[in-house]
Chain A
Amino acid sequence: DSGVTQTPKHLITATGQRVTLRCSPRSGDLSVYWYQQSLDQGLQFLIQYYNGEERAKGNILERFSAQQFPDLHSELNLSSLELGDSALYFCASSVGQDQPQHFGDGTRLSIL
């Protein structure tokens, strides 16, 4: 158990819909990262927050957004969903910005 909690574990929805994925980092970790894992793209970095502030953006679509709340949990919002958004979405956390990242079990998103 990494100490990073992601909910829900599975999400099935339709094209055009909007979903919210939730992540609770390990106790004491200030940095939260979101990654997407798909068969064709592999593991790709989406976005990072540190103590409530956005610090870096990767290959994140404009339809996707995220935030980190004062209690340090984070949410990833995906809107206008397309079939190609089907993937495993991981959250990771670390104590500082250049420290080992610990991953949650992921949320598997299936778009029908």
Chain B
Amino acid sequence: AQSVTQLGSHVSVSEGALVLLRCNYSSSVPPYLFWYVQYPNQGLQLLLKYTSAATLVKGINGFEAEFKKSETSFHLTKPSAHMSDAAEYFCAVSSNTGNQFYFGTGTSLTVIP
């Protein structure tokens, strides 16, 4: 079965600092990977997705993620944190049939002014 692991349930960064949210996947076949963001009391919004076209994926709001097969990782980064980035972030992997997404447990990002 496929799964993703998000290291660090809470991450705090200063405004303007680098954001790094970690995600490792477990998959026996090339996966399709997704990052979602959830703002307070809202649903999930897609940030970006990897579908094997390019290993460096750019998303909305200045976020990007790099697929590294050798490390089975798909970490999310943003060069400079903004206060509006404070939210919960979820990594997800799509099953082979695509019927199911398997979500990580989420990382709560706090941005300190």
A and B interact = no
